[in-house]
Amino acid sequence: MKFFLDTANLEEIRQGVSLGVIDGVTTNPTLIAKEKRPFREHILEICNIVRDGVVNAEVVSTDTENILREAREIATWHPNIVVKIPVIPDGVRALSILSKEGIRVNITLCFSSPQALIVAKAGAYFVSPFLGRLDDISSDGLTLLREIMDIYKAYGYPTQVLAASLRHPLHVIAAARMGAHIGTMPFKVFEQLFKHPLTDRGLEGFQKDWEKARETLGDIFETASARNPKR
Ligand code: E4P
């Protein structure tokens, strides 16, 4: 499973990337607006940090002509950019054209399996079902993900499923079990993936015991290497 960070915050992206397990970044107009910097400049800085990873940047127009104009421009900014377009009729029309031009499109704001089926037919590179936002309205985001995975598998569609709007580690694990190609998550959720109280408690115990041993034996590493200099 690929991990994307769902943030436009450079510090969060730097920290995440430093762990070596981040494959890309998703942004949206809300996340970009929070950073208060020119769009292109900010996206290019993200590309610079993520290096070989994919960076998703979204159009803001809602009519085909302007979606096409924005998407074509965004796609020239950097080879690792995937253009995000919402799953509205004008967006699907633009997608059908852009996919034939070889521009990679992430169809966003997907909330139903018919939407996912249509955009796979139109050549989407990624489709982003928003699990958390469905859960918010008492619908089941994971059921949607299951349906999309089944449909794509049945027909062998190459569109990659990008599980989005993930709110907690259980979303990530459920998406991974279903074989979602990618999960995009806020930095906070990414951090939570590492957290376990037994890890913290266990480490605390190891450190205390090590300290106690050092009081009587001195530096255990040095003693061991002095005895076995070849180690
Ligand atoms: C994905 O590309 C979206 O930016 C994102 O996952 C939306 O998540 P939210 O529902 O937490 O805003």
Buried b (16+ CB within 10 A) or exposed e, 105-137: bbbbbbbebebbbbbbebbbbbbbbbbbebbee
Measured CA to CA, the distance from residue 44 to residue 153 in angstroms comes to 34
Among residues 34, 84, 188, 230, the one annotated as catalytic is 84
Q: How far is the CA of 77 from the centre of ligand 1 (A)?
A: 23
Q: Which two tokens stand for residue 224?
A: 């061991």
Mutate to test the pocket of ligand 1, among 2, 27, 28 (most ligand atoms within 8 A of CB): 28
Answer CATH for 2-192 from 3.40.640.10, 3.20.20.70, 3.40.50.300, 1.20.1090.10: 3.20.20.70
What is the 228 CA–ligand 1 centroid distance (Å)? 54
Give yes or no for a contact between 162 and 106, defined as CB atoms under 8 angstroms apart: yes
Within 6 A (CB) of ligand 1 lie 6, 26, 28, 108, 128, 130, 132-133, 164-165, 184
Please tell me the distance between residue 163's alpha carbon and the centre of ligand 1 in angstroms: 9
Residue nearest to atom 1 of ligand 1 (CA): 164
**pLDDT digit string (tens) for the chain, length 231 residues:** 999 999 999 999 999 999 999 999 999 999 999 999 999 999 999 999 999 999 999 999 999 999 999 999 999 999 999 999 999 999 999 999 999 999 999 999 999 999 999 999 999 999 999 999 999 999 999 999 999 999 999 999 999 999 999 999 999 999 999 999 999 999 999 999 999 999 999 999 999 999 988 888 777 676 665 666 555
Closest Cα to atom 12 of ligand 1: 165
Residue 217's pLDDT is 79
Q: 112 C-alpha to center of ligand 1: Å?
A: 16
| Residue 3 parent element (H or E) | strand 2-6
CA 155 to centroid of chain Cα atoms: 25
84 is catalytic: yes
Angle formed by the axes of helices 64-77 and 39-50, nearest 10°: 50
pTM: 0.92
